[in-house]
Each structure stands twice: as C-alpha cells, then as structure tokens.
Amino acid sequence: MGRANVLMLLAVVLAALLVVGLGGLAVARWQAPVSLPTLAPDLVLTVTPVPTVAPRSTPLATPSLSPSPATTPQATLSNPTRALRGVVQIRTTLGQGSGFVWERESARTLVVTAAHVVEGVTSVEVIASDGTAYRATVLARDTRRDVAVLAAPAISGVTPIPRGSTRELPLGAALTVLGYPLSDQLIGDPTVTRGVLSARRTFDGIAFVQTDAAMNPGISGGPVLDEQGRVVGIAVGTIPWAGEIPAQGVNFAVAIEEIERVVVTARS
C-alpha cells in the first residue's frame, strides 16, 4: 500500500471517530434531564383593612337633635336602591368611613360600622345622606371581627336595612356594596358598586364574604347587600398585593352572622 493510500485511510478513520463522538455527545445531551427553574417562595396573602379617609378641616354643623317618629326595627326595603336610605357616613377626628342603620328605637338609632373606622375614639359623628350630622357614642367595638356598634339620637329620614343570611347565598350570587368612598368629595347619595359572591372565607375563626365588588378608601363599614337588598356583611378589607404581584377584586366583608353577635353583646 502506498504512502498516499495510508494517509487517506487514516483520514477516513479519524473522520469516522469524530462523527461517532459528536453523535454520542448529542445523544447524551438529549437524554440529560432538563433543569427546571426555581419556584418563588410561597406567597403570603394579607387582608388589609380598607383605609378611612382623612377628616375634613371644617366639620359640618350639628343640628338640634329632636327625636323623630320611631319605625319598626325591620322595616322592609325590597332592593338595594331603597336600602340607600339606611346608609350613613361615619366621621371621627382621625378619619371617615361608612356605616348603616341597624335599628331605630323611639329615642336612639343603632348604627353598625367597621371597628377600625372608630378605632381610638369613643364619640363620633353619624352623617345622613342629606349632610345632617348627629353625635353618636361607641357602644361596642370588636376588633377581632372588625365590627362596631354606635348609638345615635333618632336620625331623621333613615330606615333600617333588613338582614339576610350568608348561608343562603350561592356562589356567584350578585352583591351590592354601599358607602362613601372618598368621603366628602362625594357627599350626598352613597356610592353603589356591584359584584358577586366570589367565595366564603374564614380568617382566625371569623366568617367573611369574598367579593369582587370595588372597595375604596372610605367604604369601610358600608353594608354589603344581597339581591333582595338585605345586609349580608359589612365592607372591611382587601388583598391589594400577593407578594409583589398586584391583586384585583379580592375584597372582603364580615359576614352578617358575625355582626349579629356583636350587636347582641352591645345590648347586653
């Protein structure tokens, strides 16, 4: 065999070895497990109370508090529109929120709001939709449930809102939230927002209603109504962030069954 033939044979052998080696490397890479990206740590969801609105610099004048005729505690309001007559604004030296008329007696009106709206105070102003302000005292404040009960004089022109039950509500049922977001900037009729019953939740043993109905600063303590205009909760909090991810439409109201427990305590 000539020298040229030997060199050609060596070149063919080296080429064959190179092809086999590259093929084996490709197979090994194809069979190797793919490294998955590292997942982020578990997100911690924190329910944040809907903030109150800063108080106005010039308070409204308080009228003479002459009693008005009493109405039955469970006056019938058949839909959310009529329930507007039972919504009030709550004003303290530290901020402003919303509330609703629970009951009218001959000499006083019981009003329910969120406990964080009246935190740190014993006397507040309850303002009807016509702008009339009435002095009220805090009868009970349950910070665990975030529910407070106020006693005001007999407020003119308001009607108690009847109560419903969260146990009767199917998921997806329509809900309406009434209140005074942005406070004095929107004085007059309460703001109405609509959503659905997204879920029932329990935090620290307390029953809540989850809804996608909008809740903005100043709405805290406002009633959450079912389709018949009955109170099934009060607006108290929202989840604005899931870790560093902004959340939308994850809002919460304390269930009516929890509110009733606080009212019973306030009257005992």
Which residues are catalytic, by number? 116, 146, 220
Residue found by looking up tokens 């007696």 in the block: 105
Residues counted in the chain: 268
Alpha carbon distance 231, 249 (integer Å): 20
* Nearest partner of 124 among 107, 109, 145, judged by Cα: 109
Per the CB < 8 A criterion, the answer to whether 244 and 229 are in contact is no
Per the CB < 8 A criterion, the answer to whether 50 and 216 are in contact is yes
Nearest-5° angle of CA 197, CA 199, CA 200? 110
Distances (CA, A) of 223 to 192, 230, 244: 10, 9, 30
Q: Is 36 helix (H, G, I), strand (E, B) or coil?
A: coil
Q: Is 201 helix (H, G, I), strand (E, B) or coil?
A: strand
Alpha carbon distance 23, 21 (integer Å): 5
- Burial status of residue 201 (CB atoms within 10 A of its CB: 0-12, 13-18, 19 or more): middle
